[in-house]
Amino acid sequence: MSRNGSGRRVLVSGNWKMNHTHYEAIRVVQKLAALLRAAPLPDGTDISLHPSFTSLRSVQTALESDSVPIALGAQTCHFEDGGAYTGEVSAEMLSKLNVRYVIVGHSERRALFGEDDEVVRLKLDAVLRHAMTPILCVGETLAQREAGMAESTVSGQLIAALKDRGPEALGSIVVAYEPVWAIGTGLTASGDDAQAMSAAIRRELELLDGDVSRSMLIQYGGSVTPANAGELLACPDVDGLLVGGASLDADKFVSIARSGR
Ligand code: 13P
């Protein structure tokens, strides 16, 4: 598969974080459905939507009852299938809601909720165990970038999560490069920076499995907007986008998803 050719697959994911009640979520999904009915996405472009847990069932019903071409996603999960973990939601529970993608290791989870590489790996195991696709987030802080440690930080996160996994598991993982300094700040990595790190990630994946690495999707995330999405998706090793703030608005999100062609 050529990386930027017509056979290219693109995945644009909307991470709603802790935004939108289930009422608001349904309204946004209805708007998305109308936009996609009026003009379908380009061939090869897929969208996933990651609402909060309280909206998952409503969004699932809205998507399925209208056959809206959007995959359901979640923002995290627990690594155990069940048990005394007050407040947590398991991967098994998500899979029964037809969740297809689960974000794992988002930098907000790592920084604010103490998720270390070991927990991230266990969560990845749980998502794969229930036949869903993990979106594994990696990325460096500003201090790490300024210290010249951006690549080594990302490579350490990748190795911790992915080492000793076979081709089948690797082939069903999406990697999202989200530089922490670009998240919610309005600062976006330039196309050159996004491409350089995505290529470094692909080299790291090649070491794990040469064949599989070529078809693995690498997303970029961090202050993506309709204005910068085209430049980012034009990068040969950027296969999609993980969008926060701009995905809360149906028009902006669809406009971003259309930027890949
Ligand atoms: P923003 O697009 O709001 O910067 O968020 C990016 C992000 O963290 C997506 O997971």
What does pTM read for this prediction? 0.97
Element (H, E) at 45: strand 45-50
Amino acid code (one letter) for 207: L
pLDDT digits (tens, 9 = 90+) for 133-148: 999 999 999 999 999 9
Distances (CA, A) of 51 to 60, 85, 123, 164: 10, 21, 18, 31
| CATH annotation of 10-260 | 3.20.20.70
- Looking at the DSSP bridge assignments, the partners of residue 11 are 46, 240
Q: Which atom of ligand 1 is nearest to the CA of 107?
A: 8
Task: Using alpha carbons, list the distances in angstroms from residue 117 to 90, 104, 156, 243.
Answer: 18, 11, 9, 23
**Closest protein CA for atom 2 of ligand 1:** 244
In tens, the pLDDT along 71-129 reads 999 999 999 999 999 999 999 999 999 999 999 999 999 999 999 999 999 999 999 99
CA–centroid distance, residue 119 to ligand 1 (Å): 21
